């Protein structure tokens, strides 16, 4: 080997060593990322809404008359039997007190009615006597005519007189009935508070339970005056529960017929199933906490568990519904955390031979955790979850260690 060659080799070796050291020092290290394999499986798209349990049929017991409702014979939570349990007693309203002038006028009207009744009674007695006399004359005249001792026209006269006496009797009887009613009315005007019979018989209206269940609410335990139709208490069956969910109208139209729902966050274990029974036909306008007008509508769900509603759930209890809008038993899925926007399209980083490759995807339905893959990925592909700014096309990637 000549001297120049030896010198070249002598200087090249250190240069190669230095270059190798620089490359090792400054080479790009693989980016640590969470890698998720693409797989198939069941998928659901759900809508989560707030709801509450309520008794399906609530019976409202009201006062049938105006008066005084006695102290309630039942308490909230008491069991009641339809048609048997006494739930309320209402006394008719007491008459008001009369001032001096009104009492004098009522007493004068009573005296007048008593006199009219006496006169009517006298006229009735007179009419009865006249009827008896006319009947006796009619019988005598008929006997004489039958014997030929009197002409036939006398019988006609006696018959006419008898009919007139009968009409007078009927008129006098009606007049006495009218006088009796007027007397009763004027005497009733004199009745004051506490002027009843005092034995309490037939004085009150007793109300029995209209349905079997428990007492849900009582307006007031103590005795109090009530108006006709005023609510006294509510009765319902705590085992006959339904679920009412408050939805935005634009969400309600997305619900399929007989939609399945999972009852969550109700305070117990598990998520009992429920099915949509109906959506109320009319929406209402409400103002949100942000001051925005919203159209909201109630959706009614029924528990479908064989044993009925979960034990412990009661009327008005809060819960949360996960309503299934769409479901499939087998779909290719990509985690939502692996998606990002690429212009108008969705994209994801796929790891191939240790390096990241950007893949444009065709995405279908989505839920909170995954999206349906219609194109761009295949089963077994590995994607990067939560790709940050450190990930770019062609970068080396290694899987993060799981704790």
pLDDT in tens, 212-237: 999 999 999 999 999 999 999 999 99
The DSSP call for residue 344 is: T
Please check the confidence at residue 201 and state whether its pLDDT lies above 50.
no
Strands (E), 241-390: 241-248, 260-264, 273-279, 284-287, 293-303, 318-335, 340-342, 345-352, 355-366, 370-375, 382-385
Please check the confidence at residue 28 and state whether its pLDDT lies above 60.
no
CB 359 within 8 A of CB 350: yes
Q: Out of 7-11, 12-16, 207-211, 350-354, which region has the weakest mean confidence (pLDDT)?
A: 7-11
State the pLDDT at residue 13.
Answer: 64
State the pLDDT at residue 197.
Answer: 45
- 3-state class percentages of the chain: helix first, strand second, coil last, to nearest 5: 30, 35, 35
In percent, how much of the chain has pLDDT > 90? 42
Q: Out of 76-85, 88-97, 227-236, which region has the weakest mean confidence (pLDDT)?
A: 88-97
Per-residue pLDDT averaged across 86-105, rounded? 83
Identify the H or E element spanning 31: strand 31-37
Question: Does the predicted model carry a pTM greater than 0.85?
Answer: no
Please state the separation of Cα 201 from the chain's center in Å: 40
- On the 0-12 / 13-18 / 19+ scale of CB atoms within 10 A, 232 is buried
User: Bigger pLDDT: 302 or 14?
Assistant: 302
User: Bigger pLDDT: 324 or 396?
Assistant: 324
State the pLDDT at residue 196.
Answer: 55
Note the pLDDT tens digit of each residue in 158-177.
Answer: 788 888 888 888 888 888 89
Q: What is the mean pLDDT of the chain?
A: 85
What gap in Å lies between CA 164 and CA 127, rounded to an integer?
Answer: 10
Which residues on adjacent β-strands are paired with residue 273? 262
Helices (H), 216-363: 249-252
Going from the C-alpha of 188 to that of each of 26, 114, 168, 184, the distances in angstroms are 114, 13, 30, 6
What gap in Å lies between CA 357 and CA 334, rounded to an integer?
Answer: 16
Question: In sequence order, what are the residues at sequence separation of 6 or more whose Cβ sits closer than 8 angstroms to the Cβ of residue 370?
Answer: 43, 333, 334, 335, 336
Per-residue pLDDT averaged across 194-202, rounded? 51
Please check the confidence at residue 302 and state whether its pLDDT lies above 60.
yes
Quick check: helix, strand or coil at residue 296?
strand
Neighbours of 323 (CB within 10 A): 25
Note the pLDDT tens digit of each residue in 317-340.
Answer: 999 999 999 999 999 999 999 999
Neighbours of 331 (CB within 10 A): 19
Confidence of residue 14 (pLDDT cuts 50, 70, 90): low
User: Bigger pLDDT: 21 or 347?
Assistant: 347
Note the pLDDT tens digit of each residue in 249-290.
Answer: 999 999 998 899 999 999 888 899 999 999 999 999 988 888
């Amino acid at each position: 080997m000549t001297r120049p060659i030896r010198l070249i080799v002598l200087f090249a070796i250190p240069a190669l060593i230095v270059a190798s050291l620089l490359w090792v020092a400054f080479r790009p290290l693989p980016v640590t990322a969470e890698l998720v394999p693409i797989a198939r499986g069941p998928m659901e798209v759900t809508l989560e809404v707030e709801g509450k349990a309520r008794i399906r049929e609530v019976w409202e017991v009201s006062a049938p008359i105006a008066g005084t409702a006695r102290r309630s014979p039942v308490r909230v939570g008491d069991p009641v039997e339809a048609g048997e349990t006494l739930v309320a007693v209402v006394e008719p309203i007491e008459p008001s007190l009369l001032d001096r002038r009104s009492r004098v006028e009522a007493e004068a009207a009573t005296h007048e009615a008593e006199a009219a009744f006496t006169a009517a009674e006298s006229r009735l007695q007179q009419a009865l006597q006249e009827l008896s006399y006319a009947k006796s004359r009619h019988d005598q005249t008929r006997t004489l005519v039958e014997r030929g001792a009197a002409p036939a026209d006398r019988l006609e006269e006696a018959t006419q007189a008898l009919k007139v006496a009968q009409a007078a009797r009927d008129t006098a009887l009606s007049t006495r009935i009218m006088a009796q009613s007027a007397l009763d009315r004027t005497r009733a005007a004199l009745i004051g508070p506490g002027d009843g019979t005092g034995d309490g018989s037939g004085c009150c209206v007793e109300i029995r339970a209209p349905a079997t269940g428990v007492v849900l609410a009582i307006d007031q335990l103590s005795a109090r005056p009530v108006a006709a139709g005023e609510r006294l208490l509510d009765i319902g069956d705590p085992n006959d529960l339904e679920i009412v969910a408050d939805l935005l109208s634009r969400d309600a139209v997305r619900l399929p017929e007989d939609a399945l729902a999972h009852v969550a966050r109700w305070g117990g274990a598990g998520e009992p199933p429920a099915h949509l029974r109906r959506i109320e036909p009319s929406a209402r306008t409400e103002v949100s906490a942000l001051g925005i007008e919203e159209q909201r509508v109630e959706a009614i769900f029924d528990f479908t568990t064989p044993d009925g509603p979960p034990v412990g759930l009661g009327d008005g209890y809060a819960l949360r519904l996960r309503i299934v809008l769409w479901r499939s038993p087998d779909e290719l899925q990509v985690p939502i955390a692996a998606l990002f926007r690429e212009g108008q399209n969705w994209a994801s980083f796929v790891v191939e031979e240790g390096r990241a490759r950007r893949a444009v995807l065709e995405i279908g339905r989505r839920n909170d955790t995954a999206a349906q893959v219609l194109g761009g990925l295949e089963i077994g592909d590995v994607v990067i979850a939560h790709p940050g700014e450190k990930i770019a096309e062609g970068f080396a990637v290694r899987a993060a260690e799981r704790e």
